[in-house]
Structure 1
Amino acid sequence: MSDTLKESLFEKLCQLQCHFTWIPQKDNTDFSDMKLRLQDSIKLGVKYQATSYNHLAFVNCQQGNYEEAIQNLKEAEKIWRENHNNEFERRSIITYGNFAWVHYHMGQLTEAQSYLDKLEIICEPLSDGPRYTAMTPEVYGEKGWSLLSSAATYYVEAKECFEKALEKDCNNVEWTVGYATALLRLENISGVPENLERSQPVRYLRRVLELDPDDTVAMVNLALKLQEFNEAEKANELVEEALRKTPDLPYVLRYAAKFYRIGGDVDIAIGLLKRALEFTPCSSFLHHQIGICYRGKLFTLKKKAGSNYPDRATFQLKAEFISKSKYHFEKAFELKPLFIFAKLDFAGICLENGEVARAEEIYNSLLSLEDLALDHKQALALQVGLFELHHKRSKSNAIIYFLDGLKIHHGSKQWKLCDSNLRKILRKQIQRNPRNSKAFGILGMVHQLAGEKDEAVKCFEKALEFDPGNEEYLNSLSDLRLST
């Protein structure tokens, strides 16, 4: 095939709706971790296996495992035929698109064209748009799952995909589960609403259980949300029912463990996580959760008398909890090198153990990374800010990092902690020096970022009272007055 025909084929492939046109192919994508997670989901026999096989084919192709990718797609095609025979063609749009791309990467251009021909036949009656694809609910639904499996950056787009799929079939349990999952993850990032009625994840998790009363993963996720709103009795019932129905499903075990950990039953949580680890021994998530459990036991122990005296039993126990926390956090990011939260938690335990230099080394290495996800950037800004404040005794550096964190994800847990730490520092500075224009100016920025316009105006006016003509304060004040 000539270069011109190859270029023409490539242009057609770029029109497809499939993993090769959805998933970002960046250098910092951890394909090894993604592959492990997809293989685990297939091995455990979870629902929607064809979707996992399609995604796994993309990952294998990115890693140069072309024959494995072809086999993955054959498995997906087989599942579609067996379980969705009436809608096989609609379900195959993504699988055939992936087939075309894999053959293209293998240099098998004739085979790639043959799949484009199949797609043209399938899509012609389904779409007035591009010749080789059709935006059916099935396509939107699978795209949503693929984006959910990638990174937090794509959760909003994933939610929108499930919304579009549900517009055509509001009773489809697969897309309702996806929509509830996207809402759940987005709410975990942005912060919990003030009351149960306003929680969209709760509404859609309940809808999932209306459509499929045996969805035990939805049960434990709903229990976790109800726990946040102090609905303890119903939450406990859901967790117990989920564990009774699927006692060996790792996805249920991991969320049930989180439920018990938050509720204070840390030893039960550790037992559940270790049981889940037997089924998925390479799960970075599980190791991270076990580390969090041991860290919780450490913090509880530190409140007891004698934990700082080497001849006391509590001192030895403290050393044990530190060691186990470090082991599991480190194991988590060994399995998943881009597991930023595990690295931050590991650094935090190093500080608990007096390993300040080791923690600083980790923070510096993370600060040097490019293209960090926004939630990672915010968590890092908070942790480094606290490190500068409490260990380096540098309030000025701490302010810089807390401000950086405040500019990301308004309302999240990390945002609130950056906000409260900043206000505490700045108010103390103003108490010591009521003419501190810089403190007033930064506090004005804090109020502005929090949406508190009147308070921000007052602070900038105060700042200008002690530093007349400061252009930064003048501009901020002007912007605020124009926006009211």
Structure 2
Amino acid sequence: MSDTLRESLLVKLGQLQCHFTWGPQIDDVNLDNEKQKLLDSITISGKHQGVPHNQLAYINYRQGNCEEALRDLEEAERRLREIHGDGFERRSIVTHGNRAWLHYHMGQLSEAQSYLDKLEVTCGPLTQGPHVTAMVPEVWGEKGWSLLSSHSQCYEEAKECFASALEEDPDNTEWNMGYATALYRLESNSGILKRPEVSQSVRQLRRVLELDPGESVARVMLALRLQEFQEQAEANELVEEALRTSPDSPFVLRNAAKFYRIQQDVDKAIGLLKKALEITPRSSFLHHQMGICYREKLLALRKNQGSGDPGVEAVLIADCKLHFRTAFQLEPSFIPAQLDFAAICLMNGESDRAVEIYNNLQSLEDVAPDRKQAIELQLGLYEMYHTKSESNAIHHFMEGLKIRRGTKEWKLCSTKLEQIARRQINRNPHNSRAWGILGFLQREAGENSEAVECYEKALRFDRGNEEYLSALRELRPSA
């Protein structure tokens, strides 16, 4: 094939909607870890999860395993034909696009062209644009699932993809479930909901159950959200029904375990997680949840028995460390597991090990904003409670506040900063830095008049401070 034809082929490939054109959205994802999650997903065979073989093929391509990627795409086609029958052609748009790209990269240009030809036949009647791509619900939905399996910055775009799919196909359970999942994760990350009636995920999960009363994963997710709103009776019924109808689903088991852990029934949670681990033993998420459960038992023991029984404590600490360590060994980029491991080391007097982890985490590059914020929060807590350095703690909490507004970590950084500032003012009412911190916090909260008052007090004790003057100019532009 001539260079001109090759370039023409590449232009058409660039117009496709498939994992090879969506790929940059997972550039900073650990491919080995993502591959394991997809393999677990295939083992579990969830009802609504997109087509994991498609994304697995792209990851195998990225790792240089083109023949394995080709087998993944063949399996994707087989499953799509088996599940969707008459709807196979529309469902196969993404898979055909992946196959065209893969054959191109393998140097099999005629095969790549044959899949472009198939896409023209399928997409031609469906689109006014290029006939090799059509943004039909099946494509929007597949893209949404792909984004949900990526990092948290992609959740908003995933939500929009499912919303687009639902505009044309509003009663499709799969797209409704994807939309509910995106909303659920976005709300969980924000941590700002107070009432169930303002929760979009609650409404959407109920919509899924209207369309498919047997959707157990939606049922247990709804239970977890209602638990946050103290709707305990309905939440209990939802979890019990989910476990009755899907007793061997790791998705149900792990969410039910989280539900019972929050309810303080930690032993029941551990039992459910062990059952889930029998099915997917390499799940970093499950090991992390196990570590959290053992930590709950450790904290309860210390609370009830003072320092606790040394022998039992030692066993619980070892269990915590084992599962947290396993979680980040399976998934090296699993920052929460590393932070939890460091915290257990601190509880056990292993401060050197904790500091080593903190130093390693601080040196990481291209860390997702939510993970970076979690690191800054934990560093602030470490400086506040272990080194007793309020100045270092202030630095880390301030860095955490700059990253992302409205999250649980953001709120904790804000709370801790306010505690430090007020404590310092009680010790020394002329502490300009403390008044400046309070001014910053009030400005972040939208309390401008209170912020002005705090900054004015800060300037009274530190005349000419440009930071405080600049803040006042912003707050009082007419001044």
TM-score normalized with structure 1 length: 0.96
Query: Residue 183 of structure 2 corresponds to which residue in structure 1?
Result: 183
Q: How does 1:298-377 map to 2 (within 5 A)?
A: 298-305=298-305, 307=307, 314-377=309-372
Corresponding position: 1:263 with 2:263: yes
- Code of the aligned partner of 1:58: Y
Q: Secondary structure at the match of 1:84?
A: helix
Corresponding position: 1:453 with 2:448: yes
Could you tell me how far 1:442 is from its partner in structure 2? 2.2
For residue 381 of structure 2, the aligned residue among 369, 378, 386 is: 386
Query: Residue 418 of structure 2 corresponds to which residue in structure 1?
Result: 423
For residue 404 of structure 1, the aligned residue among 394, 399, 422 is: 399
Q: Which runs of 5+ in 2 are unaligned?
A: none
Deviations 1:4-50 (A, max 9, x none): 44333323222210011113266642111111111112122222476
Q: How does 1:67-466 map to 2 (within 5 A)?
A: 67-305=67-305, 307=307, 314-466=309-461
Q: Is the 8 A contact 1:42 1:49 kept in 2?
A: no
Q: Secondary structure at the match of 2:247?
A: coil
Could you tell me how far 1:192 is from its partner in structure 2? 4.1
Could you tell me how far 1:370 is from its partner in structure 2? 1.1
Q: Is the 8 A contact 1:190 1:409 kept in 2?
A: no
Segment drifting more, 66-75 vs 351-360? 66-75
Could you tell me how far 1:304 is from its partner in structure 2? 2.5
Q: 1:27 to 1:87 in 2, by over 3 A?
A: closer
Q: What is the total number of aligned residue pairs between the two structures?
A: 479
Q: Which whole-Å CA distance do the structure 2 matches of 1:355 and 1:105 have between them?
A: 50
Deviations 1:314-361 (A, max 9, x none): 121111111100000000001111001100100110100111111111
Could you tell me how far 1:246 is from its partner in structure 2? 1.1
Could you tell me how far 1:182 is from its partner in structure 2? 0.3
CA RMSD of aligned residues (A): 1.7
Q: Which whole-Å CA distance do the structure 2 matches of 1:243 and 1:169 have between them?
A: 30
Deviations 1:348-403 (A, max 9, x none): 10100111111111011111111111110111110000111111221111111101
Deviations 1:213-268 (A, max 9, x none): 00111111111111111111111111111111111111111001000000000000
Q: Which whole-Å CA distance do the structure 2 matches of 1:117 and 1:354 have between them?
A: 65
Could you tell me how far 1:107 is from its partner in structure 2? 1.7
Query: Residue 475 of structure 2 corresponds to which residue in structure 1?
Result: 480
Q: Secondary structure at the match of 1:24?
A: helix
Q: Which whole-Å CA distance do the structure 1 matches of 2:355 and 2:478 have between them?
A: 41
Query: Residue 60 of structure 2 corresponds to which residue in structure 1?
Result: 60
Q: Which whole-Å CA distance do the structure 1 matches of 2:272 and 2:49 have between them?
A: 25
Q: Which whole-Å CA distance do the structure 2 matches of 1:166 and 1:26 have between them?
A: 24
- Code of the aligned partner of 1:414: E
Segment drifting more, 376-385 vs 411-420? 411-420
Q: Secondary structure at the match of 2:304?
A: coil
Segment drifting more, 113-122 vs 58-67? 113-122
Q: Which whole-Å CA distance do the structure 2 matches of 1:479 and 1:88 have between them?
A: 58
Q: Is the 8 A contact 1:18 1:95 kept in 2?
A: yes
- Code of the aligned partner of 1:69: A
- Code of the aligned partner of 2:160: E
Q: Which whole-Å CA distance do the structure 1 matches of 2:368 and 2:396 have between them?
A: 16
Could you tell me how far 1:172 is from its partner in structure 2? 0.7
Q: Which whole-Å CA distance do the structure 2 matches of 1:248 and 1:390 have between them?
A: 43
Segment drifting more, 461-470 vs 213-222? 461-470
Q: Which whole-Å CA distance do the structure 2 matches of 1:12 and 1:483 have between them?
A: 56
Could you tell me how far 1:413 is from its partner in structure 2? 1.5
Query: Residue 311 of structure 1 corresponds to which residue in structure 2?
Result: none
Q: 1:463 to 1:50 in 2, by over 3 A?
A: closer
Corresponding position: 1:21 with 2:21: yes
Q: Is the 8 A contact 2:48 2:177 kept in 1?
A: no
Q: Which whole-Å CA distance do the structure 2 matches of 1:142 and 1:440 have between them?
A: 51
Q: Is the 8 A contact 1:81 1:88 kept in 2?
A: yes
Q: Which whole-Å CA distance do the structure 2 matches of 1:400 and 1:2 have between them?
A: 60
Q: 1:408 to 1:49 in 2, by over 3 A?
A: closer
Q: Which runs of 5+ in 1 are unaligned?
A: 309-313
Q: 1:483 to 1:403 in 2, by over 3 A?
A: farther
Q: Which whole-Å CA distance do the structure 2 matches of 1:25 and 1:451 have between them?
A: 34
Deviations 1:400-424 (A, max 9, x none): 1101111233222111111110001
Q: Which whole-Å CA distance do the structure 2 matches of 1:163 and 1:473 have between them?
A: 44
Q: Which whole-Å CA distance do the structure 2 matches of 1:158 and 1:200 have between them?
A: 15
Could you tell me how far 1:147 is from its partner in structure 2? 0.1
Q: 1:483 to 1:41 in 2, by over 3 A?
A: farther
Q: Which whole-Å CA distance do the structure 2 matches of 1:410 and 1:262 have between them?
A: 25
Q: Which whole-Å CA distance do the structure 2 matches of 1:125 and 1:482 have between them?
A: 57
Q: Which whole-Å CA distance do the structure 1 matches of 2:270 and 2:123 have between them?
A: 50
Q: Which whole-Å CA distance do the structure 1 matches of 2:222 and 2:29 have between them?
A: 30
